[in-house]
Amino acid sequence: MNDEGRVLAGRYRVGALIGRGGMSDVHVGTDTRLGRQVAIKLLKPQLATDPAFRMRFRQEAQSAARMAHPTIVRVFDAGEETVVDAAGQEVQLPFIVMEFVEGRLLKDIIHDGPLEAAAAVRVIDGVLTALEYSHRAGVVHRDIKPGNIMITTAGQVKVMDFGIARAVSDSSTTVAQTTAILGTASYFSPEQAKGETVDARTDLYSTGVVLFEMLTGRPPFRGDTPVAVAYQHVSEKPVKPSVINPKVSPALDAVVMHALSKNRDQRYQSAAEFRTDVDTAASGRVPVHREPDQATMLFGAPTGSLSSSELALRQLAEDETMTRTQRRPPAIWIWSGIIGVVVIVIAVMYWAFNLQPTAELPPNVKEIPTLTGSTYEEAVDALQELGLPASSVEKTDDTVPAGQVIGTDPPAGEKVDNGTAVTVFVSTGKQAVAVPDLRNKTLEQAKADLIALGLVPGAENREPSPTVPGDTVLGTTPEAGAAAEVGSTVDFRISSGSVTLPDVTGQTLEAATSYLAAENLQLTAVPKPDASCKAEPGSPVTNQSLAPGDVPQHSTVELTYCAG
């Protein structure tokens, strides 16, 4: 059934197919009423045969349409259209009208190889921001995977298909059917694989799988069938990402492994908590995950989990039939004790507030000065005056200029013994990456490659080229292989798809023909004799069919010469 050209709901014209998945096809489309470009997702007609799906689909589409956030692909409309299939039967065609986003799917970017840690952190930050917003709105995605994450040409992260996975899974009778519809089990949480109820922490597990795949180029579990993969999610422990890609830091290893905990109570409990640890790991520090202490577990336990001794204490406190047999102390003793405690507290507070701090330190104790922003040489001089030896350690920093001090260990303000060695952290500036070789790539592909490395696409300067197709990169500034700071701009030299035709009138036919066929032009000259004027040896070209200026590559130019 060819859907191109079809008009849905009397206003949405279906255009060319731009994507295909296990349960839907995506077309570019036009909202004829508002005159804007949209993306139209056409779900498989067989899904609409289930009344439970149709009801759930409408409910979830309404929930998704209420979410408006820069990191979420907007849902504008949804419905069902009665169409006639190839067999001549009427079927219901569910559709969703969404915001049209120009960019690449994350799964296509990962297909090119693992992402740099900084790029992976930026993407996962965007995904977690979207989930934090949706979870506050009470919407669980249930199908977080690279195929549902779009990176725009400007580097913005966009998450799509909120609610569709729930509409499918809630109307499917078994996990196996749900897996077949969703097309992959690589991103299933253990509770999804076991057919249990899901919550926001399910999305966080799937996000951990996506982060693992960005860092390594492959998901943590692979198998011949979806069932085999789902079994591994339930029963097998994944390897650390650094085992596959040694470039992954221990800090990111810790974040990924915590996100992939089988027990949902032991993994991240919120998207905000996950994002905080990702940012901590990106700064080079390993996040610390503490188990709940016993006191918290005791006082935070629900009634159903109280021990027998706790129940006995509660029954004792609530039993009104019991009478006290021990005589209580006289009231005057109680009030005397209270007054005595109050007097002691007031006396201690008065003494503390009236202490006169001394600014002098013992001779053998020094206070680490604040050295942030100074040069290493200035820091060494300041520390040597205090009798503290110094050594330097270089670190990348996005905010402190290269050559300036970021901080010290021990930190500023800390009091140390005389002679304590101080480590001075000196900034090397922003993290540097090598500019990739983008020659002969399309402009869109080149921009995506730069964004994936944390660089910013800059000016686009078009130049004539006899061979390279239009909108294809000729080179960059800085050139390929040069070091550039993350966040810096890279300019493009792009083929215009044309060459500059010179004025060859007045030249001999032979010279003009040779000039146009030269390597830098590669144009075809066609002689055109003119019988109205007398031929002479070395007769010049009197006219050319194309005016001087930019002309398409490999153009044909007629050269008129006297032949009378």
> Angle 250-259/200-216 helices, nearest 10 degrees?
140
Please check whether the domain covering 499-562 is classified as CATH 3.30.10.20.
Answer: yes
Three-state secondary structure call for residue 219: coil
In the prediction, which pLDDT does 177 show?
Answer: 43
Helix 250-259, helix 117-136: angle, nearest 10? 30
Residues of the chain with CATH 1.10.510.10: 105-282
Span 365-427 CATH architecture: 2-Layer Sandwich (3.30)
Predicted local confidence at residue 256, as pLDDT? 96
Residues forming the active site: 143
**Contact yes or no for 260/267 (Cβ under 8 A):** yes
Within 113-195, where are the H helices?
117-136, 164-170, 175-182, 190-193
Write the burial class of residue 128 (CB in 10 Å: 0-12 exposed, 13-18 middle, 19+ buried).
buried
Residues of the chain with CATH 3.30.10.20: 365-427, 432-496, 499-562
Cα(203)–Cα(140) distance, integer angstroms: 7
Residue 41 annotated as lining a ligand binding site: yes
Between helices 200-216 and 271-282, what is the axis angle to 10°? 30
Question: What is the mean pLDDT of each successive set of 10 residues along the chain, which is 564 residues long?
Answer: 79 89 83 91 74 69 79 87 75 85 93 94 95 89 90 92 60 41 72 87 95 95 85 91 94 95 94 94 84 39 39 41 46 75 81 60 78 88 86 80 86 82 84 87 91 90 90 90 86 91 89 89 90 82 90 90 84
Residue 205's pLDDT is 96
Domain with CATH 3.30.200.20 in the chain: 7-99
pLDDT at residue 184 in the model: 64
7-99 topology per CATH = Phosphorylase Kinase; domain 1 (3.30.200)
Domain spanning 432-496: CATH 2.60.200.20? no
Give the pLDDT of residue 296. 35
Task: Indicate the pTM of the whole model.
Answer: 0.51
CA atoms within 13 A on the CB side of 163: 25
Per-residue pLDDT at 365 = 78
Q: What is the architecture, at CATH level 2, of domain 105-282? A: Orthogonal Bundle (1.10)
